């Protein structure tokens, strides 16, 4: 018998005398039919010739031998074992002894008749109703060749038993030969090595059976009471065959079930396509179960059932019917002959007679119901072994589905932002390739932090609304979230043929004025749309939005990590480069207070220079490239030099003299400003100590950044430095900008208070440009305020229009603060400030910022000493005529 095993191989079952060589095949090629007919004709001619030519020498008293041998042939088919090689199995039975007895005691026509009749009964008992031609021909050839071999051995004067054993031994040889010939006609066949292994595992047991049968006959005929000895031995051998066969079958079933489980799991490998993978997994379950159909009803939502095998009728596609809801954690068998009427109706709708159903369960909960319909076998329906197999396969399938879903979920989380549902930075890299003309818009929504402070839900809702709005604005773009409140939209280049985007849409951006080919115009359109108020509950939140633009091929320099070649072979920037360029454009936009800015290659040069500054600052301090210059602060009432402001300069080996506004912003952004602040503080305290040694009492003002005001250890550092240099704390002034304090008010105010508690003076720099208010000055431990040089410049241009300066002076004096005016460059401005009772001034009228040595020379040449004979002296200024 040849049938299809669970994983698509071919099983050849049958003993060396078994006539049921082929019962069914998944394919019926025409070549096999011709081969079957040729086999039948050959067998008929051989058997007919031998029946006509062979003598009829038989003792009529042995008539009972014919039915006994037929019963023996049928019995030994039940006691056998199967061997497998590369998916091809063969059933080895103890059929040689009955054939051996027939050769010894019966004429050829009777042997042939018994053999054919036994084979026919076997086919009928197993409901095999086709392949008669092939089975008839093979049996005729086997018996004919066995008889010819036996006759030839007798003619060669072999002992009869030995001759009969030799004849019976030819049957397994012929049987496996026919099988190896027919396998290529039904399928791919076997490789040579596998064919030889299968032949050896079939022929050797067959020869052993023939030898054992001969020995038992000799024992029964030559030894007194030998039959009594031979029969128990025969029964024992058959029981051994049966036991060994059962063990082999169990081992084979376990192996096949394990292979099927691994196969089902492999089909749902996370790298495979979802729908195709699920269909393939169910098909492997169907093949292993030899079922007509397998259906998976997933739980949850409106998921459609997955089907392997014969399709389901439309009427059966109802997940609420009784059969679909009758499954549990244990396999249940349902048959139309003994099931409730409602389940029978469901089976009839499925055009099925029997069904195994089980719920797929995993630790996270049930996934669905698996139905297996109608076993494709003429021998039997589903049995306990099939229920056990389905239990294992359902467990493997459920775990594979759960693992695949988990991997899919993890992969989604790796490439998508959980809040907005947009791609994240990694997802953007995976989805986008850069071509000439690809435009990146980097969008930063500033209101998200404020909304989150009001309510975390509001902040999340605002970001989701912004993401949805941006996606709707740019339907052909790839939109991603790279950080909280920061989005990137990658717009494909226009199609040169259609004038639209590369996606083939004629108009890329709905609602954009014209076709919005200009990237800056597009960015302005997006910025205006995203800056519209967002309704959060009953509150409308205005979102400040800044957009940076970068376009591939728009003057890009060649950079590492590029995607493809641009015009004239120039290398295009990669997506990370474009996102970075757009971020640089946003930085410029913020610095010039514009909502939109377009990246220019010169920004990249400046950015690289800023990177050099941040990476070289410590080395520059150690090498003496950082210098501190001093600009005097003059009392208008007494004309004295009260102190100086310490201003930093960098003498760079490649860029020359650098002003603070060139490198300090980069140091503040990267957190490297602390090293510079400590250096200036150290130099300032050393300068004060030097003046004190010269009996000159002057203060030094040092500028502090927002980073220093966020460092809880900074006050301890200042106190330690003051003690180390022996400087009275009132001679040290820290100048703070309003924006630095308000950047993180809750952290900065305690730091400022601790500095003030040390005795250090606190000055508000650039007063009048930021958050100035009475409440602000009242909360801060401030000693002085400095009027911004911009206000002084306007005041100098129109001294009569002194309202702002007068207001600041009045406010400061009312609060008991010293007021300093910086940027005084002419006597008229000085005189006007004197009339307004300003306390202190500094500016180019008196001196530019000077190195310490030059500042000492200035003091010597422009001032004179006054004061008591002992103690520190103040230095009145000698003002130019």
Q: What is the DSSP string of 366-404?
A: EEEEEEEEEE--SS----HHHHHHHHHHHHHHHHHHHHH
Euclidean distance between CA atoms 151 and 145, whole angstroms: 10
Bridge partners of 787, per DSSP, are: 767, 821
Q: What is the DSSP string of 449-474?
A: HHHHHH-HHHHHHHHHHHHHHHHHH-
Averaged pLDDT for residues 316-320: 66
Q: What is the pLDDT, as a whole number, of residue 433?
A: 85
Averaged pLDDT for residues 275-290: 82
Averaged pLDDT for residues 146-154: 90
Check if the beta carbon of residue 112 is closer than 8 Å to that of residue 47.
yes
Residue 536: C-alpha distances to residues 192, 420, 451, 539, 649 (Å): 76, 16, 9, 5, 49
Per-domain residue ranges of the chain: 30-189+205-252, 268-414, 425-599, 611-868
What percentage of residues in the chain have a pLDDT greater than 90? 21
Nearest residue to 476 (alpha-carbon basis) of 497, 449, 495, 451? 495
Residue 344: C-alpha distances to residues 1, 4, 353 (Å): 34, 29, 9
Q: For domain 268-414, which architecture applies?
A: 2-Layer Sandwich (3.30)
How is domain 611-868 classified at the CATH fold level?
Answer: TIM Barrel (3.20.20)
Euclidean distance between CA atoms 402 and 397, whole angstroms: 9
Nearest residue to 651 (alpha-carbon basis) of 634, 668, 629, 630? 629
Check if the beta carbon of residue 79 is closer than 8 Å to that of residue 93.
yes
Kindly indicate the confidence band of residue 17, based on its pLDDT and cuts at 50, 70 and 90.
Answer: very low
Which of 516-525, 557-566, 571-580, 713-722 shows the lowest mean pLDDT across its residues? Answer: 557-566
Averaged pLDDT for residues 250-254: 69
Nearest residue to 451 (alpha-carbon basis) of 416, 497, 405, 485? 485
Higher pLDDT, 93 or 690: 690
As to burial, measured by CB atoms within 10 angstroms (0-12 exposed, 13-18 middle, 19+ buried), residue 479 is buried
What token pair was written down for 386?
């099939």
- Angle ∠(282,287,290) on CA atoms, nearest 5: 120
How is domain 425-599 classified at the CATH fold level?
Answer: Alpha-Beta Plaits (3.30.70)
Which of 35-49, 437-451, 506-520, 784-798 shows the lowest mean pLDDT across its residues? Answer: 506-520
Per-residue pLDDT of 755-806, as tens digits, reads: 999 999 999 887 765 555 555 667 789 999 998 887 887 776 665 556 778 8
Averaged pLDDT for residues 478-493: 91
Q: What is the pLDDT, as a whole number, of residue 471?
A: 93
Averaged pLDDT for residues 111-139: 75
- Give the mean pLDDT of the chain: 79
How is domain 30-189+205-252 classified at the CATH fold level?
Answer: Arp2/3 complex 21 kDa subunit ARPC3 (1.10.1760)
Q: Reply yes or no on whether the pLDDT at 281 is more than 90.
A: no
Euclidean distance between CA atoms 355 and 373, whole angstroms: 5
Q: Which 3 state secondary structure label does DSSP give 304?
A: coil
């Amino acid at each position: 018998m040849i049938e299809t095993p669970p994983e698509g191989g071919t099983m050849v079952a049958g003993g060396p005398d078994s006539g049921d060589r082929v019962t069914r095949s998944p394919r019926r090629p025409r070549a096999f039919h011709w081969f079957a007919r040729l086999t039948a004709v050959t067998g008929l001619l051989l058997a007919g010739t031998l029946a006509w030519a062979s003598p009829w020498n038989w003792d009529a008293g042995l008539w009972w031998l014919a039915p006994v041998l037929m019963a023996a042939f049928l019995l030994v088919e039940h006691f056998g074992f199967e061997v497998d090689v590369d998916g091809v199995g063969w059933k080895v039975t103890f059929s040689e002894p009955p054939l051996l007895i027939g050769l010894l005691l019966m004429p050829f026509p009777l042997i042939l008749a018994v053999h054919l009749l036994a084979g026919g009964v076997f086919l009928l008992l197993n409901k095999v109703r086709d392949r008669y031609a092939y089975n008839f021909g093979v049996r005729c050839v086997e018996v004919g060749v066995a008889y010819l071999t036996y006759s030839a051995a007798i003619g060669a004067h072999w002992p009869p038993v030995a001759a009969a054993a030799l004849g019976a031994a030819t049957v397994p040889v012929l049987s496996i030969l026919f099988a190896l010939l027919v396998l290529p006609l039904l399928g791919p066949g076997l490789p040579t090595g596998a064919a030889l292994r299968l032949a050896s595992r079939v022929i050797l047991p067959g020869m052993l059976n023939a030898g054992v049968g001969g020995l038992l006959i000799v024992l029964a005929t030559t030894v007194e009471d030998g039959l009594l000895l031979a029969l128990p031995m025969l029964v024992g051998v058959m029981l051994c065959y049966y036991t060994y066969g059962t063990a082999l079958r169990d081992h084979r079933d376990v192996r096949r079930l394990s292979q099927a489980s691994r196969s089902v799991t492999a089909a749902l490998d996370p790298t495979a396509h979802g729908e195709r993978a699920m269909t393939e997994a169910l098909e492997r379950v169907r093949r292993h179960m030899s079922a007509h159909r397998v259906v998976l009803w997933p739980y949850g939502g409106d998921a459609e059932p997955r089907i392997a095998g014969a399709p389901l009728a439309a009427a059966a596609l109802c997940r609420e019917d009784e059969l679909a809801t009758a499954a549990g954690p244990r396999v249940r068998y349902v048959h139309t002959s003994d099931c409730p009427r409602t389940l029978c109706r469901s089976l009839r709708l499925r055009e099925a007679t029997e069904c195994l159903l089980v719920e797929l369960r995993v630790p996270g909960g049930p996934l669905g119901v698996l139905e297996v319909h109608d076993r494709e076998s003429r021998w039997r329906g589903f049995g306990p072994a099939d229920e056990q197999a389905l239990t294992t396969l359902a467990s493997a399938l459920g775990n594979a589905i759960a693992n695949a879903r988990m991997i899919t979920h993890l992969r989604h989380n790796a490439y998508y932002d959980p809040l907005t549902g947009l791609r994240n930075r990694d997802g953007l890299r995976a989805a986008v390739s850069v071509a000439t003309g690809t435009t990146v818009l980097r969008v930063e929504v500033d209101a998200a932090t404020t909304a989150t402070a009001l309510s975390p839900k509001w902040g999340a809702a605002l970001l989701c609304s912004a993401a949805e709005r941006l996606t709707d604005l740019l339907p052909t773009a790839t939109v991603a979230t790279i950080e909280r409140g920061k989005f990137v939209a990658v717009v494909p280049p226009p199609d040169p043929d259609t004038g639209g985007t590369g996606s083939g849409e004629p108009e890329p951006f709905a609602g954009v004025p014209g076709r919005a080919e200009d990237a800056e115009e597009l960015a302005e359109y997006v910025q205006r749309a995203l800056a519209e108020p967002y309704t959060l509950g009953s509150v409308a939140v205005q979102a400040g939005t800044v957009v940076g633009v970068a376009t591939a091929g728009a003057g890009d320099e060649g950079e590492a990590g590029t995607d493809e070649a641009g015009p004239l072979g120039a290398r295009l920037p990669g997506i990370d480069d474009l996102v970075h360029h757009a971020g640089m454009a946003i930085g410029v936009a913020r610095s010039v207070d514009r909502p939109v800015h377009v990246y220019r290659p010169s920004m990249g040069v400046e950015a690289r220079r800023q990177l050099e500054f941040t990476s070289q600052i410590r080395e520059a301090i150690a090498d003496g490239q950082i210098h501190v210059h001093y600009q005097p602060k003059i009392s208008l009432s007494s004309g004295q030099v009260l102190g100086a402001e310490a201003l930093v300069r960098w003498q760079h080996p490649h860029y020359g003299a650098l002003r603070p506004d060139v490198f300090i912003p980069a140091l503040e952004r990267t957190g490297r400003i602390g090293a510079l602040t400590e250096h200036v503080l150290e130099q300032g305290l050393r300068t004060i100590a030097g003046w004190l040694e010269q009996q000159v009492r002057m203060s030094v003002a040092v500028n502090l950044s927002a980073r220093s005001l966020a460092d809880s250890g900074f006050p301890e550092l200042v106190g330690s430095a003051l003690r180390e240099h022996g400087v009275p704390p009132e001679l040290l002034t820290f100048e703070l900008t309003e924006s630095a304090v308000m950047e993180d008010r809750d952290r900065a105010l305690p730091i400022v208070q601790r500095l003030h508690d040390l005795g250090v003076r606190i000055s508000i720099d650039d007063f009048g440009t930021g958050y100035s208010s009475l409440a602000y000055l009242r909360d801060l431990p401030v000693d002085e305020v400095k009027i911004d040089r911009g206000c002084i410049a306007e005041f100098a241009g129109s001294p009569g229009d002194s309202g702002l300066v007068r207001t600041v002076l009045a406010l400061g004096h009312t609060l008991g603060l010293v007021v300093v005016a910086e940027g005084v460059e002419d006597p008229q401005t000085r005189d006007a400030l004197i009339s307004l009772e300003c306390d202190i001034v500094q500016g180019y009228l008196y001196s530019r910022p000077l190195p310490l040595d030059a500042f000492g020379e200035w003091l010597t040449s422009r001032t004179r000493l006054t004061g008591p004979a002992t103690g520190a002296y103040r230095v009145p200024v000698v003002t130019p005529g």
